[in-house]
Amino acid sequence: MKILMASSEAVPYAKTGGLADAVSALSLALAKLGHEVRIVIPRYYSVDRSKLRQLEGAMGVPMGGGEEWSAVYTTSLPGSPKKTPVQVYFIDHENFFGRDGIYGTPSEPDFLDNPRRFAFFSKAVFQLCRKIGWYPDILHAHDWPAALVPVYLKFGERREGFSQTASVLTVHNLGYQGIYSRDNYYFTGLGWNTFYNAGFEDWNMMNLLKAGLYSADKLNTVSPNYAEETKIQAHGFRLDGVLRYRSADYSGILNGIDSGIWNPAKDPHIPAPYSAKDLSGKAKAKEALRKEFGLPPGPESSAGAGSRASPPEVPVIGMVTRLVGQKGVGELFGPGYGSAFSICRDMNVQLVLLGSGEGWCEHEVMNLSSRLSNFKARIGYSEKLSHLIEAGSDFFLMPSQYEPCGLNQMYSLAYGTLPIVRNTGGLADTVEKFNQETGTGTGFVFDDLTPSAIYNTVGWAVWAYYNRRPQIEAMRLAGMKQNFSWENSAKKYMEIYEGLVKN
């Protein structure tokens, strides 16, 4: 089958979060099943053109207000299977994408011309196919920046090469919808009747994701539980009605994890490899992590995690996150409100954090870490450090307000690091709550998003660490045995695609 992924992010080229991981990993998994998969993303400033091949000739993209011209670059995705490599295309337009930032910069988090930039990108997807003479069976769009792709297909492009093409729209995060002034509608080049027919209208604004949800042939999100949650008002970000209306075509498919990148047995970013059979490398990672963050070292005799002869090791709790409300950072770091301070003050733990995001939160995190000797933080983005935190921590804290899937808790499980998570979205689908009677479970789960619920649950995990060590060790192993392969997920996407092609 021929599948074209349209996305604003894909690793290793452009990433702000899990969307980038998911798009590339899903593409590779589908290619490994023998399908012809291609990806199209914008050519941002950060993507080095000298490493790409330029297609001959310029490409015209008709939009409202005239034609825009772009160049197209291409390369094959690293890790591609030899027989069916995943080809990546980059739409190059200096005016729209030749700047720092994917969606914005710290001083301008949402570029004013984003509706125009992503309308251009979505339209360019069709021109690209014409240019290379390759028409997909499935156009698979991801999130609001590509949500116009199914709209264009349904309202105009389903002809000639695209007459048999079907569309799928995956929602990675319903909290981001691309809502802009309707003045921008002009740039889509679509008529005003389509504004209403396609469902763009949103309280006199233009909602790109909403139009995509009405227009795509099939919809899905990235975990079964989030698919159910988003159909109710509390989690639907005002689109629950649309999702209920489309519920026959809407499902949840859990993301996988890329075991080529997230695997403690062959991770180049950690000091020593380890596996469920021998966890000694995990203790080395813990020491390296402490050293990296300037935390005092543990007792020297601790030969391996769980060695009972040595004096008890202080548990390390890790976090790698975007510092935004979705991730529960208000309940952790809100000044005078959050629980991080009292956790570090009251408990014999060490807390490390890597993240970036909202200014108030970055500021508060640095402020707290200067006042607490057992809380260390790094503001910024570091692939290497994120691996070391996953490997070197005993627990991974993810108190999300909502979580469509969440990748970090799955990485944690693979690395023998016990997740402490809220019972929501994909977190609920992937982490089984510790039962201290039977010793079963893979992590610590709580229901309410309140500072005290986070405090109590971290306290429970720390108590278990000191008092139920054999159960902690058994949980680590249970987590490491979980199979979150992309192959399983890719097969479920194939079922959707096949259903569409047969019709």
> Could you list the residues that contact ligand GLC (CB under 6 A)?
17-19, 22, 172-173, 222, 255, 403-407, 426
The least distance separating ligand GLC from the CB of residue 24, rounded to whole angstroms, comes to 11
Q: Which does 427 bind (CB under 5 to 8 A by kind): ligand GLC, ligand ADP, none?
A: none
Q: Which is nearer to ligand ADP, 328 or 406 (CB)?
A: 406
Q: Which does 188 bind (CB under 5 to 8 A by kind): ligand GLC, ligand ADP, none?
A: none
Q: Which is nearer to ligand GLC, 162 or 250 (CB)?
A: 250
The least distance separating ligand GLC from the CB of residue 331, rounded to whole angstroms, comes to 17
The least distance separating ligand GLC from the CB of residue 173, rounded to whole angstroms, comes to 4
The least distance separating ligand ADP from the CB of residue 252, rounded to whole angstroms, comes to 14
The answer to whether 154 and 212 are in contact (CB under 8 A) is: no
Measured from each CB, the residue nearest to ligand GLC is 18
- Reported for 94-97, long-range contacts at CB under 8 A and 24+ positions apart, including other chains, are 96/42, 96/68, 96/120, 96/121, 97/42, 97/43, 97/44, 97/45
Question: DSSP letter at 296?
Answer: P
The answer to whether 103 and 208 are in contact (CB under 8 A) is: no
Q: Which does 101 bind (CB under 5 to 8 A by kind): ligand ADP, ligand GLC, none?
A: none
Q: Which does 316 bind (CB under 5 to 8 A by kind): ligand ADP, ligand GLC, none?
A: none
Distance CA 295, CA 409 (A): 24
The answer to whether 379 and 366 are in contact (CB under 8 A) is: yes
The least distance separating ligand GLC from the CB of residue 55, rounded to whole angstroms, comes to 29
C-alpha pair distances (Å), 129 with each of 158, 161, 388 = 13, 9, 41
The least distance separating ligand ADP from the CB of residue 17, rounded to whole angstroms, comes to 3
Distance CA 9, CA 18 (A): 9
The answer to whether 5 and 142 are in contact (CB under 8 A) is: yes
Q: Which is nearer to ligand GLC, 174 or 347 (CB)?
A: 174
The least distance separating ligand ADP from the CB of residue 407, rounded to whole angstroms, comes to 4
Q: Which does 320 bind (CB under 5 to 8 A by kind): ligand ADP, ligand GLC, none?
A: ligand ADP
Q: Which does 408 bind (CB under 5 to 8 A by kind): ligand GLC, ligand ADP, none?
A: ligand ADP
Q: What are phi and psi of 421, to 5 degrees?
A: -135, 160
Q: Which does 47 bind (CB under 5 to 8 A by kind): ligand ADP, ligand GLC, none?
A: none
Distance CA 67, CA 89 (A): 20
b/e string for 141-163 if b means 16 or more Cβ within 10 A?
A: bbbbbbbbbbbbbbbebeeeebe
How large is the angle between the packed helices 280-293 and 383-392, nearest 10 degrees?
130
The least distance separating ligand GLC from the CB of residue 154, rounded to whole angstroms, comes to 24
Q: Which is nearer to ligand ADP, 218 or 387 (CB)?
A: 387
Q: Which is nearer to ligand ADP, 21 or 313 (CB)?
A: 21
The least distance separating ligand GLC from the CB of residue 419, rounded to whole angstroms, comes to 13
Distance CA 149, CA 269 (A): 38
Which amino acid is located at 317 in the chain? I
Q: Which is nearer to ligand GLC, 406 or 451 (CB)?
A: 406
The least distance separating ligand GLC from the CB of residue 407, rounded to whole angstroms, comes to 5
The answer to whether 156 and 491 are in contact (CB under 8 A) is: no
Q: Which is nearer to ligand GLC, 273 or 325 (CB)?
A: 325
Q: Which is nearer to ligand GLC, 63 or 361 (CB)?
A: 361
Q: Which is nearer to ligand GLC, 222 or 428 (CB)?
A: 222
Which amino acid is located at 92 in the chain? D
Strands 66-76 and 53-54: antiparallel
Distance CA 68, CA 59 (A): 8
Distance CA 295, CA 392 (A): 12
Distance CA 466, CA 134 (A): 60
Q: Which does 222 bind (CB under 5 to 8 A by kind): ligand GLC, ligand ADP, none?
A: ligand GLC
Q: Which is nearer to ligand GLC, 19 or 289 (CB)?
A: 19
Q: Which residues bind ligand ADP (CB under 6 A)?
A: 17-19, 21, 320-322, 354-356, 381-383, 386, 405-408
Q: Which does 354 bind (CB under 5 to 8 A by kind): ligand GLC, ligand ADP, none?
A: ligand ADP
List 67's β-bridge partners, or say none: 62
Question: DSSP letter at 13?
Answer: T
Q: Which is nearer to ligand ADP, 154 or 327 (CB)?
A: 327
The least distance separating ligand ADP from the CB of residue 356, rounded to whole angstroms, comes to 5
Q: Which does 356 bind (CB under 5 to 8 A by kind): ligand ADP, ligand GLC, none?
A: ligand ADP
